[in-house]
Structure 1
Amino acid sequence: MNPVKRSLFNLHITMILLGGTALFSKLIALPALDITFGRAIPACVCLFLFVKLSGEKFRLNNTKDYFIGIGLGVLMAIHWVTYFMSMQYSSVSVGIIALFTFPVITVLLEPLFEKIKLNWQDILSACAVLLGIYLIVPSVSLSNDITLGVLIGIFSAFLYALRNLIHRQYFSHYSGARAMGWQTLIICPCLVFFLNDDFSQMDTRTALLLLCLGTVFTALPHALIASSLKHLRAKTFSLVACMQPFYGVVLAIIILNESPTIKTLIGGILVVSAAIYETVHTHQNLRRQ
């Protein structure tokens, strides 16, 4: 298998693994905050081992980068907590679809970071996402768990979009594994004082699931991303990344026996279609520049 095909295969495996992280919101009987903390510890260790084996340095270049890294870590901590919380309130299918509003949210936030103007296509994408979310939400009431899960998921998407924009602007000179290693390192002290008593009393099954989540489903995919980008264009990576909700929903159906409604699936198609469009549109604009 040539390097390009192998990288593309690895990238699809990566998206399956990242989509699979959502399953742990249901498989692990802990609050979202505890799951996030338990995910961050093994992920941090593995990512820094990968950085070491890759011959990179642990240290950042200057004091400013440390402050940026701390900020990104805090955003990532809240994003991960709300990501799992969204699915615990609703379902894996609904939560992961709500999360994938982030590409359109990113486009709407970009003018705040760069000299980019919104165009009518971006507004159309936003309308498609709103329609998709409308189809997913059963009732406009916070007393409905699915509605609350969707809103938390959109907030998580907002944080992820904000984190990505700051990362691209101020932290992109570091490799993905190194940057993510520092962010997972920051997550641990952010959450340690808020842990539930159940965390210290977890059984062996829960501990093994957290270890699996942090290593196989977090550190490994980020390592695979770093290696895949050596042979694939950024556009290819972004488009394949849009498959993550599809893989997540399929895994939820197979492993958790979830049964998404037709409205949820149609809403998901609208949200993911908008994400794919914005991905293609962004790369076309970059090519013209």
Structure 2
Amino acid sequence: MQKNLHLRNILELNLAMLLISTSGALGRYIDMPVPVIIGFRALFAGVLLYLYCRWKKISFRTGSKDRPTIILSGVLMGLHWVTYFYALKLSNVAIGMLSIFIYPVITALLEPVLLKTKFQKVHLLLALLVLVGIYFLVPDLDFSNSYTKAVLLGVLSALCYSLRNIIMKTKVGNYNGSVLMWYQLVVVTFCLIPFLLFMDSSGIKNQWLPTLTLALLTTAIGHTLFLASFKRFSITTASIISSVQPVYGIIIGIIFLGEIPVLSTIIGGLLILTSVIIESIRTYK
């Protein structure tokens, strides 16, 4: 019985990863300014999650002491999405997704500091392996190069995502995952309303379907399932299992956008994913 439950939890987490991985191809495909894309993404997903919570009669009540943490997690989530989508626009699905997937190693390094868990020296070696992987992703150290900018933005996105996941770990056991995700979407929407008003958002007339897909599959369902997994796995474990996401994303990019990664990207990606797989095996044992 316990094995069946564990298998179900693993399958749900992998489904979440498959859905979230659609963000790479959709981020490249949707032709609007990045803050506008993320603003509409958060707005649409927020409406969908609100209707779902009302249908399920899930309480939206939160404790006053938890609200600052939830608001901060929303700000970090918004920064993660914006920097990630800029990385996608400046490069391709492979570079964009692989560069943010240093976040499991960042999480492994930050979790002992922020949550006072035991620090493990092997994480320093894994971090070094990730840095070598990033070296292969970056063509050179020329900051005028769009791929270099993309990787740097991807690293910043990974840091924001790691911090968001760690601080949400302390709250996810007290609330429904859909409600926590909804509050974060509200924060992101409010932060990006000025961009929706003052930047060119007319493209939504022709881009509403892929934007709605991004909001429903990637955000409302995918991120809610991932957030719910924090109840069953440690943040580091959930992050590490999610390493399959770039693989899904690159395959989707090849099928729908015809973006085939070059050899250096494949080498860098393999090094990053190797560090993640090593940690995954260690955590499982």
| TM-score normalised per structure 1 | 0.87
What is residue 54 of structure 1 aligned with on the other side? 56
Residue 143 of structure 1 pairs with residue 163 of structure 2: no
Residue 102 of structure 1 pairs with residue 103 of structure 2: yes
Task: Supply the distance in 2 between the matched residues of 1:126 and 1:83 (Cα, whole angstroms).
Answer: 20
What is residue 16 of structure 1 aligned with on the other side? 18
Residues 169-184 of structure 1 mapped to structure 2, 5 A cutoff: 169-184=170-185
Do 2:20 and 2:222's aligned partners in 1 also have CA atoms closer than 8 Å?
yes
Moved more, 96-105 or 5-14: 5-14
Q: CA 1:260 to 1:204, structure 2 compared with 1: closer, same or farther past 3 Å?
A: same
Residues 64-75 of structure 1 mapped to structure 2, 5 A cutoff: 64-75=65-76
What is residue 216 of structure 1 aligned with on the other side? 217
Residue 126 of structure 1 pairs with residue 122 of structure 2: no
Say which SS state the counterpart of residue 173 (structure 1) adopts: coil
Residues 1-289 of structure 1 mapped to structure 2, 5 A cutoff: 9-60=11-62, 62-195=63-196, 196-199=198-201, 201-225=202-226, 234=233, 240-282=241-283
Cα deviation code 1:227-274 (max 9, x no counterpart): 8889xx537865542211100011111111112111111111111221
Task: Supply the distance in 2 between the matched residues of 1:78 and 1:202 (Cα, whole angstroms).
Answer: 22
CA RMSD of aligned residues (A): 2.5
Q: CA 1:108 to 1:225, structure 2 compared with 1: closer, same or farther past 3 Å?
A: closer
Task: Supply the distance in 2 between the matched residues of 1:24 and 1:193 (Cα, whole angstroms).
Answer: 23
Do 1:76 and 1:160's aligned partners in 2 also have CA atoms closer than 8 Å?
yes
Task: Supply the distance in 2 between the matched residues of 1:228 and 1:120 (Cα, whole angstroms).
Answer: 26
Do 1:48 and 1:58's aligned partners in 2 also have CA atoms closer than 8 Å?
no
Kindly state the Cα deviation for residue 282 of structure 1 after the two structures are TM-superposed: 4.5
| TM-score normalised per structure 2 | 0.88
Kindly state the Cα deviation for residue 11 of structure 1 after the two structures are TM-superposed: 4.0
Structure 2: tracts of 5 or more residues without a match: none
- The number of aligned residues is 279
Between the aligned residues of both structures, percent identity stands at 37
Q: CA 1:144 to 1:239, structure 2 compared with 1: closer, same or farther past 3 Å?
A: closer
Task: Letter of the 1:234 partner, please give it.
Answer: F
Kindly state the Cα deviation for residue 280 of structure 1 after the two structures are TM-superposed: 4.2
Structure 1: tracts of 5 or more residues without a match: 285-289
Task: Supply the distance in 2 between the matched residues of 1:106 and 1:203 (Cα, whole angstroms).
Answer: 35
